[in-house]
Structure 1
Amino acid sequence: MTGEVPGGDGISGRRALRPLGGLLAALAVSLTGTRISAVALPWFVLVTTHSATWTGLVAFCEMAPYAVVKALSGPLVDRSGPRVISWSTDLVSAAAVGAVPLLHALDLLSLPLLLPLVALIGAARGPGDLAKQVMVPEAAERGRVPLERATGLSGVTERLAATLGPAAGGSLVALLGPLTGLAVNAACCALGSVIIALTLPRGMGRAAGEVPLPPGELEPGYWRRFGAGCGFLRGEPLLLTLIVMVGVTNLLDAAFTTVLLPVWAEESGNGPAVIGLNSAVGGAAAVAGSLVAAAMGHRMRRRVVFFAGFLLAGAPKFLVLASPAPLWAVFLVFAAGGFGAGFLNPILAALSFERVPRRMLGRVNALGNALAWAGIPLGGLIAGAAVTSFGLVPVLLLGGAAYFLTTNLAGLRPEWREMDRLRRPGVRERHPGAGDRAAAGDLTK
């Protein structure tokens, strides 16, 4: 950590908690806007084109740049500082999202023009999301908050956004149209940028180049930083296995959210409001799960909780939509899945922050997250083509089976035992230069 931790009493205690509070507020605002857009944009394309294939293509054009730019932006976040990257990319996102309803109002928006705009939105979101994520451990230290509690609070924030965003998005789309939802998303991105700029101290999330290097080391360039991140991941079997498993489940989740759920809502006659309501029910339950994780996560066995969470959050939601179940049963399945999902991100974040040296968080998390998100652009694309070719129900059944097998077969690998071995944050940095030697495979165990 850079700088001193303020005192824990009175005004100084409140100042100590201000960075974590500001970061969580910015996360809440920007993620809520993104969730609103996740309902509004696919619905806009679906009702405009009446094509699941076009809906999947638009999702691909947003998420492919997201994954690629996020993977390449890690060294930049480490070098320039996550605070600057966060507020600046949020402004770019706001401008790109706001351009969609503006151009439509001027009768200048076409699908060929929408695709590059959506690609710009994804490209700006990637570094912005990464920058906020890597500031969590420093914000926790400044506020003297245990890491697992801070990641749990971050998980609660994400789940609140997953509750409020889809509910608001579904209501806005149903009452005022999908372009209103996109305008609200643009406002949320702008507000998130302002919160980061005003509430986080300038010394927080500063560039890695401003942190004193160990004696005898030179400041590495971009590609050396990038290579160090790759080398570190190669030496971490647990993180690699997690990334691969989450990458497959993310692909399936993207297929479900961007294509399967909207098509189900249209074919069943339930409409966009039910999309938001389903997601809100799951999000509310996920908030409860994240609160339990924040309060008690450090006392739980991570491996058991992790796989139980995936068992609830994965296959059942596919299977219930494939069945003729009534809406109350659908809501019940989404609620159970949301509660299980609430435990997942805090565990994943804590593992990453514990095992990755602080000065490498940007590049390692960028690579890991980008690899885990690499399947997301393909999820909507594959689902759109599959639904067009085979129909909705067979694709839902296949998706549920794939989700179940992925999450359970991955748990048979031996490195999962390391998940329950609690380690202090930064333990890998006890020898000078351990982080940058990772490119050569010289890791501090």
Structure 2
Amino acid sequence: MTPSPRPGLLRDRDFRLLFAATALGQLGDRVVFLALPLVALTALDADEFQIGLLTATTTAGSLLVGLPAGAWVDRVRRRPVLIGTDLARALVLLSVPAAWWAGVLTVPWLYAVALAHGLLGVFFDVSYASYLPRLVGRDRLLEGNSTLSAVRSVTSISGPALAGPLVGGLGAAPTLLASSAGMTASALLALAIRGREEKPRPAARPHLRRDVLEGLRFVLARPALRATVLGDALFNLFLAVYQTMLLVFLERRLGLGASGVGLILSGMGCGALLGALTATRLARRLGQGRVIWLAPLLTCPLTVLTPLAHPGGPGVYAAAAGLAALSFGGVVRVVAQSSFQQALTPDRLLGRMNATARFVSWGGLPLGGLLGGASGTAFGARATLWLAAAGMTLSFLPAALSPLRGMRATDCARGADGRP
């Protein structure tokens, strides 16, 4: 596909449809992020370890199908995968309110829903990241990623803000109907994209194991790409630990209700929106490589403000500011990093590169969920948040010690290490 010659990607009809689909799909996903754990906490009285296990099952898909998903996506058109996985996730989420109304909802049921939703999410995310370069062209990847990150950030604000009152008024389980509706609408908008996507030419004798290994070698043999995924892996491991206890800490230790938790998470969305609006400018001024390691170094330490907070005190506002800073740094890093990874990778390897990056980067998320639940049970939510804040801060090291350290945006097309 060729990008529109007109200035501004939002003037392109197909990109506008992808933009709108992203908005509605992400809105549904952000409601899930708040509502699913709250179903376990409020409707089923789950304990800390059960919340950790729920987090682990949500993210286990990357470990189970992450690498094969990339090899498979490289053999098919990406848009039908986006449509199919959105519709399937919508049906999976409908089962939660249905089971709740029938009086048969259990914590294991939530585990099953979280696992299915996560598995489908792997195929969606790998296809999405591989579809964007074909839709907008490689010369506009930074603009495309930044624009789509902006809409994700807006939904990070509106999703929890919408979910909080819905959970308070309807209950956590019925709120998942909104998530299902958002993903259905996302699929319908993606279906309306007109641009023709050519089916990738398969190898003479496709072989899953060989294709998977080719993707692994491509990423791990390049120092700059390897640094991005290793830094992500460390960050995401401790982010999962942090997030596992965050809702527990906010709801049970600070005494915030569903609406209060929604407002705190909306504040995180404000930080993410600011990050999306400034990411392109920062990447061009400082260099994409510098942004990738400076962002976590400067913003992750502020997450210690959350465990310092106490019920009813001003520390709650400081905690919200720290979480907003975490989101700001995360979005700035991801925009720079995603554009760099996509620009360095040939079309035929995009699916496998994205899947390999996701497998390595997100592979620790289930472990982080389990560690967060176990640590919360043994030491309490507050101590676990301290530990996770330190771990997230250390995630700057792989990029800072790699060829990414001083790269500027123009280096990405040539490759950080001189390799195509």
TM-score, normalised relative to structure 2: 0.90
Report the CA distance between 1:66 and its aligned residue. 4.2
Classify 1:338/1:63 alpha carbon distance in 2 versus 1 (closer, same or farther; 3 Å).
closer
Report the CA distance between 1:96 and its aligned residue. 0.6
Alignment partner for residue 417 of structure 1, among 390, 398, 405? 405
Deviation track 1:333-363 (CA, whole Å, cap 9, x = no partner) reads: 2333333333111101111111111121011
Classify 1:66/1:305 alpha carbon distance in 2 versus 1 (closer, same or farther; 3 Å).
closer
Residues 65, 119 of structure 1: 8 Å contact kept? yes
Deviation track 1:364-400 (CA, whole Å, cap 9, x = no partner) reads: 1111112111111122221111111111222122112
Are positions 1:209 and 2:201 aligned together?
A: yes
Kindly tell me the number of residue pairs found equivalent between the two proteins.
Answer: 414
| 1:431 paired residue number | none
Query: What is the rounded CA distance, in whole Å, between the counterparts of 2:89 and 2:329 in structure 1?
Result: 31
Report the CA distance between 1:312 and its aligned residue. 4.1
Alignment partner for residue 93 of structure 1, among 75, 80, 89? 89
| 2:120 paired residue number | 124
Report the CA distance between 1:78 and its aligned residue. 1.2
Report the CA distance between 1:7 and its aligned residue. 5.0
Report the CA distance between 1:125 and its aligned residue. 1.2
Secondary structure at the aligned position of 1:218 is classed as: coil
| 2:41 paired residue number | 46
After TM superposition, the structure 1 = structure 2 runs for residues 116-195 of structure 1, keeping only pairs within 5 Å, are 116-141=112-137, 146-195=140-189
Query: What is the rounded CA distance, in whole Å, between the counterparts of 1:159 and 1:78 in structure 2?
Result: 28
- State which drifts further: 31-40 or 64-73: 64-73
Report the CA distance between 1:297 and its aligned residue. 3.4
Are positions 1:394 and 2:383 aligned together?
A: yes
Residues 322, 396 of structure 1: 8 Å contact kept? no
Classify 1:5/1:20 alpha carbon distance in 2 versus 1 (closer, same or farther; 3 Å).
closer
Query: What is the rounded CA distance, in whole Å, between the counterparts of 2:12 and 2:341 in structure 1?
Result: 22
Classify 1:199/1:117 alpha carbon distance in 2 versus 1 (closer, same or farther; 3 Å).
same
Residues 284, 408 of structure 2: 8 Å contact kept? no
Query: What is the rounded CA distance, in whole Å, between the counterparts of 1:15 and 1:62 in structure 2?
Result: 33
Report the CA distance between 1:5 and its aligned residue. 5.0
Q: Letter of the 1:316 partner, please give it.
A: L
Classify 1:8/1:273 alpha carbon distance in 2 versus 1 (closer, same or farther; 3 Å).
same
Are positions 1:231 and 2:214 aligned together?
A: no
| 1:437 paired residue number | none
Are positions 1:8 and 2:3 aligned together?
A: no
Deviation track 1:46-105 (CA, whole Å, cap 9, x = no partner) reads: 222340111111121121024432332112111111111110111111111111111211
Query: What is the rounded CA distance, in whole Å, between the counterparts of 2:108 and 2:143 in structure 1?
Result: 45
Q: Letter of the 2:362 partner, please give it.
A: W
Deviation track 1:269-307 (CA, whole Å, cap 9, x = no partner) reads: 112222221121121122122112235633332233333
| 1:292 paired residue number | 278
Classify 1:163/1:145 alpha carbon distance in 2 versus 1 (closer, same or farther; 3 Å).
farther
Residues 153, 272 of structure 2: 8 Å contact kept? yes
After TM superposition, the structure 1 = structure 2 runs for residues 37-436 of structure 1, keeping only pairs within 5 Å, are 37-47=32-42, 48-141=44-137, 146-201=140-195, 203-204=196-197, 206-209=198-201, 218=204, 220-295=206-281, 297-324=283-310, 325-407=314-396, 409-417=397-405, 419-420=407-408, 422-423=410-411, 425=413
In the alignment, structure 2 segments of 5+ residues that lack a partner are none
Deviation track 1:170-218 (CA, whole Å, cap 9, x = no partner) reads: 22222221112211111111111111111243x23x43127xxxxxx73
Classify 1:412/1:346 alpha carbon distance in 2 versus 1 (closer, same or farther; 3 Å).
closer
Q: Letter of the 1:410 partner, please give it.
A: P
Q: Letter of the 2:110 partner, please give it.
A: L
Report the CA distance between 1:149 and its aligned residue. 1.2
TM-score, normalised relative to structure 1: 0.85
Classify 1:31/1:282 alpha carbon distance in 2 versus 1 (closer, same or farther; 3 Å).
same
Deviation track 1:154-174 (CA, whole Å, cap 9, x = no partner) reads: 221222222222222222222
Q: Letter of the 1:255 partner, please give it.
A: V
Residues 351, 419 of structure 1: 8 Å contact kept? no
Report the CA distance between 1:418 and its aligned residue. 6.2
Deviation track 1:378-437 (CA, whole Å, cap 9, x = no partner) reads: 222211111111112221221122222332x33442322364362465x68xxxxxxxxx
Report the CA distance between 1:15 and its aligned residue. 9.9
In the alignment, structure 1 segments of 5+ residues that lack a partner are 211-216, 429-442
Residues 265, 272 of structure 1: 8 Å contact kept? yes
- State which drifts further: 411-420 or 338-347: 411-420
Classify 1:33/1:333 alpha carbon distance in 2 versus 1 (closer, same or farther; 3 Å).
same
Residues 167, 277 of structure 1: 8 Å contact kept? yes
Secondary structure at the aligned position of 2:201 is classed as: helix
Query: What is the rounded CA distance, in whole Å, between the counterparts of 1:6 and 1:24 in structure 2?
Result: 15
- State which drifts further: 323-332 or 237-246: 323-332
Q: Letter of the 1:257 partner, please give it.
A: Q
Aligned identity (percent) is 25
Secondary structure at the aligned position of 2:307 is classed as: helix
Residues 46, 54 of structure 1: 8 Å contact kept? no
Deviation track 1:116-156 (CA, whole Å, cap 9, x = no partner) reads: 22211111111012211211122222xx9722111111221
Classify 1:7/1:393 alpha carbon distance in 2 versus 1 (closer, same or farther; 3 Å).
closer
Query: What is the rounded CA distance, in whole Å, between the counterparts of 1:370 and 1:386 in structure 2?
Result: 24
Secondary structure at the aligned position of 1:109 is classed as: coil
Deviation track 1:210-230 (CA, whole Å, cap 9, x = no partner) reads: 7xxxxxx73633333222111
Residues 4, 136 of structure 2: 8 Å contact kept? no
